[in-house]
Amino acid sequence: MKKLLHILSEEMGKAFEAAGYDSTLGRVTISNRPDLCEYQCNGAMAGAKQYKKAPIAIASDVAEQLKGSSVFSEAAAVAPGFLNLKLSEEYLLQIVKTMAAEPKFGLEPPERSKKIMIDYGGANVAKPLHVGHIRSAVIGESVKRICRYAGHEVIGDVHLGDWGLQMGLVITGLQDRQPDLEYFDENYQGEYPKEAPFTISELEEIYPAASAKSKEDPEYKARAMEATFKLQSGVRGYRALWKHILNVSVMDLKKNYGSLNVEFDLWKGESDVHDLIPEMVAYMKDNGYAHISEGALVVDVKEETDTKEIPPCMILKSDGASLYNTTDLATIMERMRLYHPDQIIYVVDKRQDLYFEQVFRCARKTKLVEPETELKFLGFGTMNGSDGKPFKTRDGGVMRLENLIRETKDEMYKKIREGRQMSEEEARQVAEQVAVSALKYGDLSNQASKDYVFDIDRFTSFEGDTGPYILYTIVRIKSILGKFAEQGGSLENLALLPAGNETEKALEMALVQFNTMLQSAAEETAPHKVCAYIYDLANAFNHFYHETKILGEEDAKRRESLIALLVLTRDVLETCIDVLGFSAPEKM
């Protein structure tokens, strides 16, 4: 189905042409004076010079052509030359009907369906997830779902940090705790146990302790680096121990991500490309892309047009060790080989933007990707506390994602118990679901690149631009539909009638923006556009609800039509929250 503004502009273009003017002047936009009109066209002002005529004269000529239009019920030329427009209710009804009948509410498939890989999550093994990881997971998951809905093939990869010094630190920490483990015995020939010699909570204790110690104690740090080296060069016991760390950690990560409705198609990590590095390095050397600088192997990536200094991309350190860059480049090489994506999107803290600029330039220059492969950095801002600084726990520590989720659930539970008739168990369940909407919507409703303040009171409120408000609206609709069904009404084959009042028309006008909105949310990888749309839609619905008798409507045909509109509103809202990555309960 064509986009509404496109249809309206075409219609307007015809009127310009019929009045003897250029049809391209007929561009229609949403009114910036909603008190005066629904849509407007400023083409007469734009054409004044070309036709050496007063804009109002042109606007009047065009308005004359629109008398009796089936699309516009009103087209008024007003000084100094605007065309103020209202949509005909009958015409709007046709569009609503088309939207309801077509797959995906009239969203057309993309001109070219792309294969997109999304690199998001980015958790580090053996380190608990902290709030900095929440944004990557939440935004990435939504971008994945939006692009998929828009008709692209999308693969989400968690890209674990599972290969660097942090692994050596954990191994060293473990060795101090349990020096007699067979994993550390070089002469051990047998099979290693299937069970990990630690639990997730032990693992989470070991890492911070080892990391702190390595900062004070150079000898300890040297041991950790040695352990990292042994692991990476394939020492059997170290590899076996690492597998345990990975398994225990991934199980825990899956649980945490799962509680946020975040699912990855691929659970790959930095370690997966370890074996590709020698080949990649040789390729870069042989083709003259890389050269030695102060002992390190680097690729120059600066360009003449740069306004700031872009340092070379370092591929190997002078001791031959690989870096974060190295695994990212090797991962690009692997992704091109295994999946051949048209685009790779990285959802990472925006403070890594210079780093990704280097990596992308290096990948292009060394032809790891094709000229038409798109590499996109979707950098996000920081989640701050009310003091405007990165969010911390009350005692100033790093807030763990798990605790943040728990606190939000507890707060939501309190609010749900207040003044509601619900058993404790039911309230707990509902609170979990609503809390996910509070966290995710609180994050996604901001443009990703901006910092935002995490405000638990505001995010969990049932009023205002929040997840719970959206869910509350959906639940309200479901409850009316439930009552209608209880009274013997059927939700099948309901005929829509033209809007009966202004709020109903406004609801329909909000609904029919869906295809335009979703397409731009996908093209711009912008979940906040979906949030803005559903906030407007929920507001339009609630105004309509307050102004309109629905179940009490006596005319059966009209009642059915209202119900049909409710069904469509519910379906559109539920589709939108699904692409945002949360869902609505039946009651709340």
Residues at the site binding ligand ARG, with contacts judged by CB under 6 A: 119, 122, 124, 159, 161, 328, 346, 348
Nearer to ligand ARG, 346 or 459 (CB): 346
Nearest to ligand ARG of 28, 330 (CB atom): 330
Shortest reach from residue 536's CB to ligand ARG, in Å: 34
Q: Which is nearer to ligand ARG, 81 or 140 (CB)?
A: 140
Residues 6+ apart with CB under 8 A from 522: 110, 146, 147, 149, 150, 152
d(CA 97, CA 568): 10
Q: Least CB distance from residue 328 to ligand ARG, whole Å?
A: 5
Least distance from ligand ARG to the Cβ atom of residue 278, Å: 20
Tell me the C-alpha distance between 467 and 461, whole Å. Answer: 8
CB nearer ligand ARG, residue 156 or residue 161: 161
Angstrom CA distances, 176 to 205, 213, 220, 223, 427, stand at: 13, 12, 11, 11, 46
For 390, which DSSP code? B
Q: Which is nearer to ligand ARG, 124 or 271 (CB)?
A: 124
Residue 234 beta carbon to ligand ARG: minimum distance, rounded to whole angstroms: 23
DSSP 422: -
The residues, any chain, with a CB within 8 Å of residue 41's CB and separated by 6 or more, are 12, 25, 26, 27, 28, 29, 62, 82, 83, 85
Q: What DSSP element (H or E) covers 40?
A: strand 39-41
Closest residue to ligand ARG using C-beta atoms: 122
Q: How far is the CB of 252 from ligand ARG (least distance, A)?
A: 16
Contacts of 493 (CB under 8 A, 6+ apart): none
Question: What is the nearest approach in angstroms of ligand ARG to the Cβ of residue 409?
Answer: 25
**Contact yes or no for 41/72 (Cβ under 8 A):** no
* DSSP β-bridge partners for residue 343: 116, 374
Please say which residue, 152 or 159, places its beta carbon nearer to ligand ARG: 159
Question: Cβ closer to ligand ARG: 92 or 348?
Answer: 348
Up-side HSE of residue 568: CA atoms within 13 Å toward CB?
33
CB-nearer residue toward ligand ARG: 346 or 533: 346
Please choose, from the candidates 528, 538, 407, the residue with its C-alpha nearest in 3D space to the C-alpha of residue 464. 538
Tokens of 563: 């119900």
- Min CB(232)–ligand ARG separation in Å: 17
CB of 30 to ligand ARG, least distance (A): 38
How many Å is the maximal CA-CA distance in the chain?
96
CA-CA-CA-CA torsion sign (213, 215, 218, 223): positive
- In the complex with ligand ARG, which residue's Cβ is closer, 332 or 537? 332
Instruction: Tell me how crowded residue 530 is: count the other CB atoms within 10 A of its CB.
Output: 27
β-pair partners for 520: none
Closest distance to ligand ARG from the beta carbon of 127 (Å): 8
Nearer to ligand ARG, 257 or 346 (CB): 346
Considering the complex, what minimum distance in angstroms separates the CB of residue 132 from ligand ARG? Answer: 7
Residues 583, 584, 585, 588: is their CA dihedral positive or negative?
positive
CB closer to ligand ARG out of 140 and 237: 140
Using CA atoms, how far apart are residues 109 and 123, in angstroms rounded to an integer? Answer: 33
CB of 43 to ligand ARG, least distance (A): 47
